[in-house]
C-alpha cells in the first residue's frame, strides 16, 4: 500500500468518526435492491459516501451510497447502503479502501449481501442462500500491489473465507426467524453483461451454485484484514439458459426488494447472535 493510500484511509476514518464517534463493530454491505433495509435502523446517523474520503459513489441503480450507523433490535450496527463494482471502472484500491476504513473504525464482523443468479433449479428467484465458499473467476484481486503489513500478511489464508461460526449462527437465526435458507458456492465474474448459457453451464460444472458481480473482492480485503465475514445472496433470476427468460437489472431489483423483507427478518435475529 502506498503512503497516499494510508493517508486516504486515515482521512476517511477520521471523517466518519467526526459524525459517528461510537462506530459499531458489525457492518452490513447491502446489495442491489436491498438498500431499504437501512430504514429499520433506530437513532440512525447517515453519512453520504461523498462526505467520506476513499468512498466512491456507485453509478448503479439500487445503490444509494450512504454509510449509516444505528440500532437494530437493540444491537448497534453499521450499514453500507450500496457498493461499487469493478465493472464501473474501479480498481482494486477503490474497492479495498472502504473496507479498510471500516477496519480502522473498529469493525470486526462484515456481513456481505448481494443479488445473484441461480445456477440450478433448486435455487429459484427469491431464494435466500448462505455463501459457504466462493470461486474467483474474474482475474481481479484487490490485494494485488504493495502489501500493508498493518492490515494483514502478503499471502492471506482463505481456507475459511466465510466464517464457520458465523455460518452456524446464521443457520440457527434462520430457524428462529422462520426463514428458509439454502447453502451454496458463489462464483464472481466481472460483468457488466449477464452470462451466456455456455458460461452458466461451465460455472455449474466448476461447482458453483450462484453467480454474481460483487462480494468476493470485499471478502478478500476483509479477510486479509482479519475481519470475520458472512455472505448472503438473494437469488433474483435463473442463470441464462436454465429458464427461457431474458434477464434485466429491473428484474433483479424487483425480486431483491420482495425477498428483502424475509432477509430483514433473518438479519434482525442474526445480528443478535454475533
Selecting among 44, 87, 108, 132, the annotated active-site residue is 87
* 85: annotated active-site residue: yes
**Is position 174 annotated as part of the catalytic site?**
no
- List of long-range contacts for 192-197, beta carbons under 8 Å, 24+ apart: 192/85, 192/87, 194/117, 194/240, 194/247, 195/117, 195/239, 195/240, 196/240, 196/241, 197/239, 197/240, 197/241
> Which candidate in 15, 116, 237, 259 is catalytic?
237
Residue 158 CB contacts under 8 Å (≥ 6 apart), including other chains: 220, 223
The 10 Å Cβ neighbour count of residue 165 is 12
Note if 237 is an active site residue.
yes
- Among the listed residues 1, 93, 115, 230, the single catalytic one is 115
Residue 158 annotated as catalytic: no
- Report residue 111 as a C-alpha cell: 456481513
In the residue annotation, 32 being an active-site residue is answered as yes
214 given a catalytic annotation: yes
Annotation marks residue 249 as catalytic: yes
Residue of 13, 27, 64, 85 marked active site: 85
Q: Which of 56, 64, 69, 88 is catalytic?
A: 88
Catalytic residue among 1, 13, 32, 64: 32
Q: Which residues pair with 26 in a beta bridge?
A: 109
Residues facing 184 on adjacent strands: 131
Annotated catalytic residue: which of 177, 213, 222, 230? 213
The answer to whether 132 is a known catalytic residue is: no
Catalytic residue among 138, 202, 249, 254: 249
Query: Which sequence positions are flagged as catalytic?
Result: 32, 63, 85, 87-88, 115, 213-214, 237, 249
Amino acid at each position: 500500500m502506498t503512503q497516499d493510500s494510508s493517508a486516504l484511509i486515515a482521512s476517511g476514518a477520521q471523517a466518519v468518526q467526526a459524525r459517528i464517534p461510537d462506530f459499531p463493530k458489525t457492518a452490513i454491505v447491502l446489495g442491489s435492491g436491498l438498500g431499504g433495509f437501512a430504514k429499520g435502523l433506530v437513532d440512525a446517523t447517515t453519512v453520504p459516501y461523498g462526505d467520506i474520503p476513499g468512498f466512491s459513489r456507485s453509478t448503479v441503480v439500487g445503490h444509494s451510497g450512504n454509510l449509516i450507523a444505528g440500532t437494530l433490535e437493540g444491537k448497534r450496527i453499521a450499514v453500507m447502503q450500496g457498493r461499487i463494482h469493478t465493472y464501473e471502472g474501479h480498481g482494486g484500491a477503490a474497492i479495498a479502501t472502504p473496507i479498510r476504513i471500516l477496519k480502522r473504525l473498529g469493525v470486526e464482523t462484515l456481513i456481505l449481501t448481494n443479488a445473484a443468479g441461480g445456477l440450478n433449479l433448486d435455487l429459484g428467484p427469491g431464494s435466500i442462500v448462505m455463501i459457504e465458499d466462493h470461486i474467483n473467476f474474474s482475474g481481479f484481486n484487490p490485494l494485488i500491489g504493495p502489501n500493508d503489513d498493518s492490515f494483514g500478511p502478503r499471502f492471506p489464508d482463505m481456507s475459511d473465507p466465510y466464517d464457520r461460526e458465523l455460518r452456524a449462527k446464521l443457520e440457527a437465526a434462520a430457524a428462529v426467524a422462520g426463514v428458509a435458507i439454502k447453502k451454496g458456492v458463489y462464483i464472481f465474474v466481472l460483468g457488466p453483461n449477464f452470462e451466456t448459457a455456455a458460461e452458466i453451464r461451465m460455472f455449474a460444472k466448476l461447482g458453483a451454485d450462484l453467480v454474481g458481480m460483487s462480494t468476493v473482492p470485499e471478502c478478500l480485503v476483509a479477510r486479509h484484514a482479519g475481519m470475520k465475514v458472512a455472505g448472503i445472496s438473494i437469488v433474483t433470476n435463473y442463470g441464462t439458459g436454465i429458464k427461457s427468460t431474458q434477464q434485466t437489472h429491473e428484474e433483479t431489483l424487483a425480486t431483491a426488494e420482495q425477498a428483502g423483507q424475509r432477509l430483514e427478518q433473518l438479519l434482525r435475529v442474526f445480528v443478535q447472535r454475533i
